[in-house]
Structure 1
Amino acid sequence: MCGITGFVGKGEALPFLMQGLNKLEYRGYDSAGVTLVDDNGLYTFKSKGRLCHLEDLLKGKSHPQKTGIGHTRWATHGIPSNLNSHPHTNAKNTISIVHNGIIENYQAIKKELIRQGYPFVSQTDSEVIVHLIDYYDRGNLFEALQKAVRYLEGSFALCVVSVQDPDTIYVAKKESPMIIGHCASGSFCASDIPAVLEYTKDILSLEDGQIAVLKADEIQVYDFQGELQKQKWMHIPYDLQAAQKGDYDTFMEKEIHEQPYVLSETLRGRVDNDVRMDELKELNINWEKLERVYFLACGTALNAASYAQDLFRQWVPACPSFALAASEFRYGNYYLNSDTLCIFVSQSGETADTLAALQLAKEKQAKTLSIVNVLGSSLARKSDCTLYTCAGPEIAVASTKAYTTQLVLLVCLMIALSEKLGRQPKDVSKLIEDLQRIPEITKAMLAQQEIVKDYAQCLKDQKDAYFIGRRLDYFSVVEGALKLKEVSYVHADAYIAGELKHGPIALIDKGTVVIALATQEEVASKTISNIEETIARGANVILITTQHQDTHAFQKVLRIPDVHPALAAIPAAILLQLFAYYGAVLKGCDVDKPRNLAKSVTVE
């Protein structure tokens, strides 16, 4: 969740640290801080709140130090405050650390360290790390870090600097992301790729159980036992502009408008007269023996996975399939064996719960396939087979373009899986033809933004909104409700339209905002009847439907182009994203950095 930067080089460290934290602030913005180090000591600056408060603290002062570490925090243990901010230092102010993750056994470690006389000034789990390193330090910080990490249970990405080694950063990783980079000016590390794009496009993703030693001209990687490791570098095909707003006011707005392009890139080479999924050969699976398929994800990715699971269930009804929250999967005693396929969906590829579900699946010899946006992420490296969306860097906390690229890639995958299993979707030729039209269809949806902006005015004085739909539309309204609550703080619930009369309709009163989808022809008339029930009770309804649906009873209507019903979720998603965006702007919310949220959930 938190964002980390580190730099050791030939020039000042602070510029890299601050530009990196700026690009990582989507990972947490409860507080921010840096430690700079030279032969004379540690210099730590930190502040509660957004990064701008730290920038004010640093203004007007000289910071010539060539080594430093930085942190932007999403609070897990301890309230947002200056004392709970990172970096944390030891009592002698000779060692400083930043940490992303959760130390699950910190209470036991803290109790013993207090018994040993160590003072604690924060409520965080992270502070135990710096004192534990200090406890083991006998003049060799690398050995002290080795001993300390063996006692840490949970997840961590750590950067450590000290007065005794002012030209070195020590980096350790277990279950939290950390990348390493190098250029002519020095060596550096960060939690995510956008932080390093200004300096390099060649990165090394640190593996679990590794320690990197960074010097200005050298990088060495060891395992926790001290054995030198081979380094696996990769080139990232992003450019710096991809991680900047450009002419847009917010990243969310930019990323919504990038969807025609990124959808085209995701489909490139995948769809012609058929769907091409050559990567499936890597699964080494006997399709005739396939017993079940699990779709596992969290948040928005779970909504995409649930949509795909419903398609798979329709197209391959004989093969049991389940869409489950990865956070629940480990605890549900689900049946897994070598004839099970587990499909994982994640934008970052670093979601802690999804990685834990992957580990369980691999322990049970299940086949694993991941759909990921970030090259070289943990999920991609550990899965048997990986399919990449081509959304590029997604900076806004609320996912938009990652979600729609997940949808199109999942539809392609479901077509390929159904064919592997001797089945075929209904109207498959039409489906493949319309897949190729999706970029143009999304452009048509973006052209309706002014109408959506006008409809969003209905949220001005509202604290609640309700989303309804049937069949595949239900998964779309779940995502639409999530998007609205994420960025506008409007309490938004999604319901199966047919379930309204079984309780939720009691919430409908005069002026209540209802967003309804009716894009699935076989149930559209029934959905329309359910919507009319809300109008009879005074609801202010916005209807998203097809070109041919009769809408004479509705005042606010948005129509999607003619498209195969299996793809209707994609144009609908664009409209729902715009609705959430304009609703949030109307209410004066920070759409890129919603309160209490962070982009990459790397803790459980």
Structure 2
Amino acid sequence: MCGIVGIIGVEPVADRLVDALRRLEYRGYDSAGIATITADGLDRRRAEGKLNNLAGKLANDPLAGTIGIGHTRWATHGGATETNAHPHIAGKVAVVHNGIIENFKDLLQDLARDGYFPQSQTDTESVALWVTRELDRGAAPRQAVANTLPKLRGTFGLVFLFDGDDKLLIAARQGSPLAIGHGQTEMYLGSDAFALAPFTNQITYLDEGDWAIVTPGKAEIFDFDGNPVQRIRQTSSASAALADKGNHRHFMAKEIYEQPETISHTLAHYVDLSEEKVALREDLPFDFAKLSRLTITACGTAFYAGLVAKYWFERYARLAVDVDVASEFRYREPPLADNGLTLVISQSGETADTLAALRYAAKSGQHIAALVNVQESTIARESHVVFPTLCGPEIGVASTKAFTAQLTALASLAIAAGQARGTISASEAHTLVRALVELPSAVSEVLRHEKSIEGIARHLARASDVLYLGRGQMFPLALEGALKLKEISYIHAEGYAAGELKHGPIALVNEEMPVVVVAPSDDLMEKTLSNMHEVSARGGKIILITDAEGRAQAGDGISDIIEMPRVHPFVAPILSSIPVQLLAYHTAVFMGTDVDQPRNLAKSVTVE
């Protein structure tokens, strides 16, 4: 997750911009830069690598100015070079950006017809150039940005700095958090309130789709449609600790809302977004093409991520997959195939059962790969290769953004395996990657429907038992949905393959039993509909999570529908995670439970 800071000051800002960026180092980055307005106009300093490299450049070549923007970049489009580092300057505007502009190639083609060409490989420069063209056509800065934002498709946190105006910053948020900091004589912007903690604890968080005109002592905020809106100014606790809830009631809610950004961040590690192709590291200690078998082992939510991955690897790479609960794995003493790969999944990298499974597989001569969020963890250190999830610290005990980051990484690996084994064509691989690239904006769209999900959760909170059903890739999502509800609301819930309904669970169905069905429209939808009719016939209350086409197919007899955007079936399990998480979260809130620290549970299970 890249980091953004901005300052409208009364004193030089360069050193303070760098210090604020240091507070965002935990988010991960591979280049950094700042831009200010000096007596000679817009100027900037950028450097590859860590902030010390940028600080060294500034020591040798200081940057004046009382207004500026800064950025720590995790390379997405284009490599980790100084040329690709932010801020990007085009004409009289500088910009920093978190997220992915999906349609940047279309934007650049349009711009080229008018003689505007990029100097970098990044998607971000298309935004700077578009605003520049608007300025050249006579638009004022605020109108230039207002004209540009509707043209952008994807996710973004953006901050603009304009030559000739040292009292103005313009910011916009869609799928990537941004906060405005209020000072006595200065104003601030940051992707994280923690970055602004040394300057102020008075924070206004932009809502999804908001954009803001920030001037000394003032912030004018507009919604997605350009209407002026008021957002609450509040006191942040970020100065007291690294983690801050922002404008959310719980860390879990904040982490649910971070997923457009965290999915983008993880995706950028595995995919060359400029070429839209998977680009894994070249020194892998195994060859997907030669693997005899893949064994995946994990616990809890990570285990369910492995179950989804089984569908992907077997369908797209034709690679046989075994998935085991890590707490059972070594006690079964399974025989492991020669030239097999064991992939262990753990958010913390310290899960005791998963570590024990890793050691069993290593003694059995397996290649060992770890999918972890903490690259310095024990599991990472004891593996032959580490596949990071890069979603940042997850505070809530019930996993949300770590789960979707795991799925994003696993989806990328499945594509790579399919290409290596010759089971998918380059064209098919491109289609799957394009589906992944478009996923963050689809997640943002689901998040905009939170209020309707909250209303459904109010009714779910009255239940004592809940069934979750899904077919194919959605079966693990049914398991995950039931787990989430159990974890944080303490309502008993069970997840089943929809085809198993008549093999026992249907005996539980009555007028008091909510049945959550995860069923985006796909080639299994018709069979799932049959199961839903069986539930309806027995008075069960169906909550259907689907898309518009699935909604039309479902017909009558559905108590509530949570509608998602239509996406490629490949990424549907990742997108379906979001309403499942929101449903569990709001149910728990209505139940009055401790959402972030549910009873009897720990974030990292380091003992058996």
TM-score when normalising by structure 2: 0.58
Partner Cα separation in structure 1 for residue 240 and residue 290 of structure 2: 46
Shift of 1:551: 2.8
Q: What corresponds to 1:27 in structure 2?
A: none
Partner Cα separation in structure 2 for residue 557 and residue 427 of structure 1: 32
Q: What corresponds to 2:530 in structure 1?
A: 529
Q: What corresponds to 1:315 in structure 2?
A: 316
Unaligned runs of 5+ in 2: 1-196, 199-237
1:284-330 Cα offsets, whole Å, 9 max, x none, are: x254542111011110000001100121111233x321111111111
Q: What corresponds to 2:498 in structure 1?
A: 497
Q: What code does the residue aligned with 2:267 have? A: L
Q: What corresponds to 1:477 in structure 2?
A: 478
- Work out whether 1:370 is the aligned partner of 2:374: no
Aligned pair in 2 of structure 1 residues 287, 441: CA closer, same or farther (>3 Å)?
A: closer
- Work out whether 1:268 is the aligned partner of 2:268: yes
The equivalences for 1:75-474 within 5 A come to 243-271=243-271, 272=273, 273-279=275-281, 281-283=283-285, 285-317=286-318, 319-336=319-336, 339-424=339-424, 427-474=428-475
Partner Cα separation in structure 1 for residue 481 and residue 377 of structure 2: 27
Q: What corresponds to 1:508 in structure 2?
A: 509
Aligned pair in 2 of structure 1 residues 354, 434: CA closer, same or farther (>3 Å)?
A: same
Shift of 1:476: 0.8
Partner Cα separation in structure 1 for residue 349 and residue 402 of structure 2: 12
Query: How many residues were matched structurally?
Result: 367
Tell me the percent identity.
41
Shift of 1:261: 1.0
Partner Cα separation in structure 2 for residue 410 and residue 421 of structure 1: 16
Shift of 1:337: 5.3
Partner Cα separation in structure 1 for residue 403 and residue 289 of structure 2: 31
Shift of 1:429: 2.7
Aligned pair in 2 of structure 1 residues 268, 405: CA closer, same or farther (>3 Å)?
A: same
The equivalences for 1:532-571 within 5 A come to 532-549=533-550, 550-553=553-556, 554-571=558-575
Shift of 1:340: 0.9
Aligned pair in 2 of structure 1 residues 366, 280: CA closer, same or farther (>3 Å)?
A: farther
Aligned pair in 2 of structure 1 residues 287, 402: CA closer, same or farther (>3 Å)?
A: closer
Q: 2:579 aligns with which of 567, 572, 575?
A: 575
SS at 1:303's partner residue?
Answer: helix
Partner Cα separation in structure 1 for residue 478 and residue 288 of structure 2: 33
Partner Cα separation in structure 1 for residue 525 and residue 479 of structure 2: 17
Partner Cα separation in structure 2 for residue 320 and residue 440 of structure 1: 32
Q: What code does the residue aligned with 1:449 have? A: E
Pick 1 or 2: higher relative contact order, CA cutoff 8 A, min separation 6. Answer: 1
Partner Cα separation in structure 1 for residue 240 and residue 320 of structure 2: 44
Q: What code does the residue aligned with 1:384 have? A: H
Q: What code does the residue aligned with 2:362 have? A: K
SS at 1:268's partner residue?
Answer: helix
1:559-586 Cα offsets, whole Å, 9 max, x none, are: 2212111110122111010000000011
Partner Cα separation in structure 1 for residue 333 and residue 515 of structure 2: 38
Q: 2:592 aligns with which of 572, 584, 588?
A: 588
Q: What code does the residue aligned with 1:336 have? A: L
Q: Conserved in 2, the CA contact under 8 Å of 1:267 and 1:408? A: yes
Aligned pair in 2 of structure 1 residues 314, 520: CA closer, same or farther (>3 Å)?
A: farther
1:305-363 Cα offsets, whole Å, 9 max, x none, are: 1100121111233x321111111111222223550101111100000011111111111
Q: What corresponds to 2:217 in structure 1?
A: none
SS at 1:243's partner residue?
Answer: coil
Aligned pair in 2 of structure 1 residues 458, 399: CA closer, same or farther (>3 Å)?
A: same
Aligned pair in 2 of structure 1 residues 246, 340: CA closer, same or farther (>3 Å)?
A: same
Aligned pair in 2 of structure 1 residues 315, 302: CA closer, same or farther (>3 Å)?
A: same
Partner Cα separation in structure 2 for residue 304 and residue 280 of structure 1: 25
1:159-204 Cα offsets, whole Å, 9 max, x none, are: xxxxxxxxxxxxxxxxxxxxxxxxxxxxxxxxxxxxxxx99xxxxx
Shift of 1:247: 2.1
Q: What code does the residue aligned with 1:552 have? A: G
Partner Cα separation in structure 2 for residue 282 and residue 573 of structure 1: 30
SS at 1:466's partner residue?
Answer: strand
SS at 1:498's partner residue?
Answer: helix
Q: Conserved in 1, the CA contact under 8 Å of 2:280 and 2:416? A: no
Aligned pair in 2 of structure 1 residues 598, 290: CA closer, same or farther (>3 Å)?
A: same
Aligned pair in 2 of structure 1 residues 403, 242: CA closer, same or farther (>3 Å)?
A: farther
Partner Cα separation in structure 1 for residue 575 and residue 397 of structure 2: 21
Q: Conserved in 2, the CA contact under 8 Å of 1:280 and 1:385? A: no
Partner Cα separation in structure 1 for residue 242 and residue 442 of structure 2: 23
Q: Conserved in 2, the CA contact under 8 Å of 1:551 and 1:557? A: no
Aligned pair in 2 of structure 1 residues 427, 562: CA closer, same or farther (>3 Å)?
A: farther
Shift of 1:277: 4.0
Unaligned runs of 5+ in 1: 1-197, 200-237
Aligned pair in 2 of structure 1 residues 600, 269: CA closer, same or farther (>3 Å)?
A: closer
Q: Conserved in 2, the CA contact under 8 Å of 1:472 and 1:520? A: no
Q: What code does the residue aligned with 2:579 have? A: L
Partner Cα separation in structure 2 for residue 562 and residue 288 of structure 1: 32
Q: What corresponds to 1:182 in structure 2?
A: none
